[in-house]
Amino acid sequence: MRTTQFPLNTVKETPADAEIASHQLMIRAGLIRKLAAGLYTWLPLGLRVMRKVEKITREEMEKTGALEVLMPGLQPAELWQETGRWEQYGPELARLKDRHDRDFCLGPTHEEIITDLARNEIKSYKQLPITYYQIQSKFRDEIRPRFGVMRSREFIMKDAYSFHLDHESLQVTYEAMHQAYTNIFNHLGLNFRAVIADSGSIGGAVSHEFHVLADSGEDAIAFSTDSEYAANVEKAESVMPIGTRGSATEALTLIDTPNQHSIEEVCGFLNIPATQCLKTLIVKGEEDTLVALLLRGDHNLNDIKAIKIDGIASPLEFASDEQVGNACNCKPGSIGPIGLNIKIIADRSVTLMSNFVCGANQDDKHYKGVNWERDLPVPDHIADLRMVVEGDPSPDGKGQITLARGIEVGHIFQLGTKYSEAMKAGVINEGGKNQIMTMGCYGIGISRVVAAAIEQNHDDKGIIWPTNLAPFQVALCPMNMHKSERLKEASEKLYQDLLAAGIDVLFDDRKVRAGFMFSDMELIGIPHCIVVGDRGLDSGTVEYKARTAEANEEIPFADIIDFLK
Ligand code: ATP
Ligand code: MG
Ligand code: MG
Ligand code: MG
């Protein structure tokens, strides 16, 4: 490809709303353009990268024997009503009506649709097990779309669904998918961990998430220094007493509101080291602000007298250990979330406060006035929530817990019969009886993977693509080619030779300064750069620079293709 025919859309300006490196770089390198909040167009360069993620994913899916299908994004409400999710899903589900006033939604996921397909197409146990997958657009009206394509409202997901006669068969496919996911993320060259996860609104019992490790990740994950144990902190087990630590997490779930300020911002307000904080929640109401933090380790909260968020100062109240113990039926002095201050989640109409008290990891000092709606039942599983702290012994007895931040790029679930039961998706079993199928589902955030890869691989000059994700492998940059006929000929020939050798090369044949070319190629992250100039022609050499190397190397002109292969 030539840059005169494949224009690079690089820009100097970093958009004001781009908070993290990948978002900034995806705009600057010309991979995406914003249409509206959480909606992005993929430009040719960005799409080339996303197609590589799709290709690797598809290859691994095919290896497992999964069959590709393509389901509509527009889904009739009736199917969602059958499973009860039409009511349960909440405002993230983008609902609409057709011209006949019938209800539809834009699919955030496809369990209902695939289960409908399966109950019609699969009649006999002999057709099982079977796995379908698709790579397709999903729609989620995220409360706070942010970080570019990392959390957008329309995104590309690979979703797969498996159908089985029994749980043993599901287990086999689940393990195969776990392995396929491991292969995919290895192939993509990402530093990732598979972690035990909560299955959230999708349902089911067993579930794993795949996280790309990056400081900007929205999830905290805990893993052992000496074993395979790894879990999303929300699910992680700990030997520490639990105190009230469930409450902030639960508040997060109940009001379904992601972080609205960065952890650094909140910790700045509170004078707490940001590294101590696993998760923050700030919900701005019409009059008041709720702040909840999940903190790890020891910290001195003596200095905190008030918090000030967006100009509103709120005094803190303290409670004694005894009060805390009574209020929340827990051991005093435990490490837990501190929940500060009161009130309002306007759009979810939670207004009644119960003056809930939280542990603050300090003798006799616990914050009162944590937001909790009086009528809201405390869910049973709150007692099971555990918070893990750095240095804890690993629950499997091997090694200690280390905490890291992760970006959720994949999620696999054992659904069991949740959807098949509700939608009566059965087959005739060997005994001639109808038997409800057992299901699994498996997602990868294809478009999010691109952003996650950049988050993990960049420097101050731009993106550093892992080889298998790079939009082009080699950049060919001639210096002042437009002033030298001889150089032009040599560059054209080298370009043709590289193509003939099967090397994916981007020939920068623009009439621009060499420095301009280099900074573009570095910004868009091409792994290998070859510079040809008149001087090199004289001495029979080209300059070669790897994206990650400090200095250039001289390579004989005749050897460059073998060198690159
Ligand atoms: P998150 O916790 O980040 O909101 P999720 O748990 O809601 O994600 P799943 O329902 O598990 O997402 O969907 C499968 C995958 O789709 C996720 O692992 C993630 O990679 C991707 N994904 C989910 N929501 C978004 C989004 N808004 N933008 C981009 N990718 C997303
Ligand atoms: Mg989500
Ligand atoms: Mg999640
Ligand atoms: Mg998930």
Beta pairing, strands 154-164 & 219-224: unpaired
Q: What is the 3-state secondary structure (H, E, C) of 419-465?
A: HHHHCCCEEECCCCCEEECEEEEEEEEHHHHHHHHHHHCEECCEECC
For residue 543, report the distance from its CA to the centre of ligand 3, in Å. 46
pLDDT, tens digit, for every residue of 270-286?
555 555 555 444 444 33
Q: Of the ligands numbered here, which is closest to the C-alpha atom of 153?
A: 1
Q: How far apart are CA 120 and CA 425, in angstroms?
A: 8
**What would the mean pLDDT of 539-548 be, rounded to a whole number?**
95
How far is ligand 3, taken at its centre, from the CA of residue 204, in Å? Answer: 14
What are residue 138's DSSP bridge partners?
A: 155
Which of 232, 448, 454, 455 has the most ligand 1 atoms within 8 A of CB, as the residue to mutate? 448
In this structure, which residue's CA is closest to atom 23 in ligand 1?
A: 445
Ligand 1 atom at minimal distance to the Cα of residue 258: 4
> Is the pLDDT reported for residue 365 higher than 90?
no
- Ligand 1 pocket test: which of 26, 93, 249, 411 has the largest number of ligand atoms within 8 Å of its C-beta? 411
Confidence of residue 221 (pLDDT cuts 50, 70, 90): confident
Is residue 152 lining ligand 1, measured as CB closer than 6 Å?
A: yes
Looking at the CA of residue 202, tell me the nearest atom of ligand 1: 10
Q: What is the pLDDT of residue 392?
A: 73
Q: Strand, helix or coil at 538?
A: helix
The lowest-confidence range among 230-234, 267-271, 416-420, 460-464 is 267-271
How crowded is the C-beta side of 501, counted as CA atoms within 13 Å? Answer: 17
Looking at residue 16, the DSSP 8-state letter turns out to be: T
Which atom from ligand 1 is nearest to the alpha carbon of 407? Answer: 3
User: Which tokens is 138 given?
Assistant: 């999903």
Whether pTM exceeds 0.80: no
Check if 157 has its Cβ closer than 6 Å to any atom of ligand 1: yes
Q: Is 151 in the pocket of ligand 1 (CB under 6 A)?
A: yes
> Is 409 touching ligand 1 by the criterion CB < 6 Å?
yes
Which range has the worst mean pLDDT, 170-174, 227-231, 345-349? 345-349
Q: Please, where are the H alpha helices in 32-189? A: 44-63, 77-83, 85-88, 111-121, 167-187
Query: By percentage, how much of the chain surpasses pLDDT 70?
Result: 71
- Of all protein residues, the one whose alpha carbon is nearest to atom 21 of ligand 1 is 445
The answer, yes or no, to whether any atom of ligand 1 lies below 6 A from the CB of 158, is: no
**Structure-token pair, residue 9:** 């859309």
Distance of CA 197 from the midpoint of ligand 3 (Å)? 8
Q: Which tens digits make up the pLDDT trace of 381-430? A: 333 334 456 777 787 889 988 888 899 999 999 999 999 999 999 999 99
Distance 408 CA to ligand 4 centre (A): 7
Report CA-CA distances (Å) from 81 to 16, 35, 437. Answer: 41, 32, 20
CA–centroid distance, 533 to ligand 2, in Å, is: 51
Whether the CB of 445 sits within 6 Å of ligand 1: yes
- Predicted-assembly ipTM surpassing the 0.85 threshold: yes
CA 522 to centroid of ligand 2, rounded, Å: 33
- DSSP state letters, 322-385: HHHHHHHT--TT----EEE----BGGGTB-----EEE--SSTT-EEEEE---TTSPPPGGGGG-
Secondary structure class of 82 (helix, strand, coil): helix
Number of residues that make up the chain: 565
- 297: CA distance to ligand 3 center in Å? 24
- Pick the residue whose CA is nearest to atom 1 on ligand 1: 408
Query: Does ligand 1 lie within 6 Å of residue 140's CB atom?
Result: yes
Atom of ligand 1 nearest to the CA of 157: 16
Q: What confidence score (pLDDT) does residue 267 get? A: 55
Rounded CA separation 328/320 (Å): 12
Distances (CA, A) of 30 to 33, 34, 40, 460: 7, 11, 12, 16
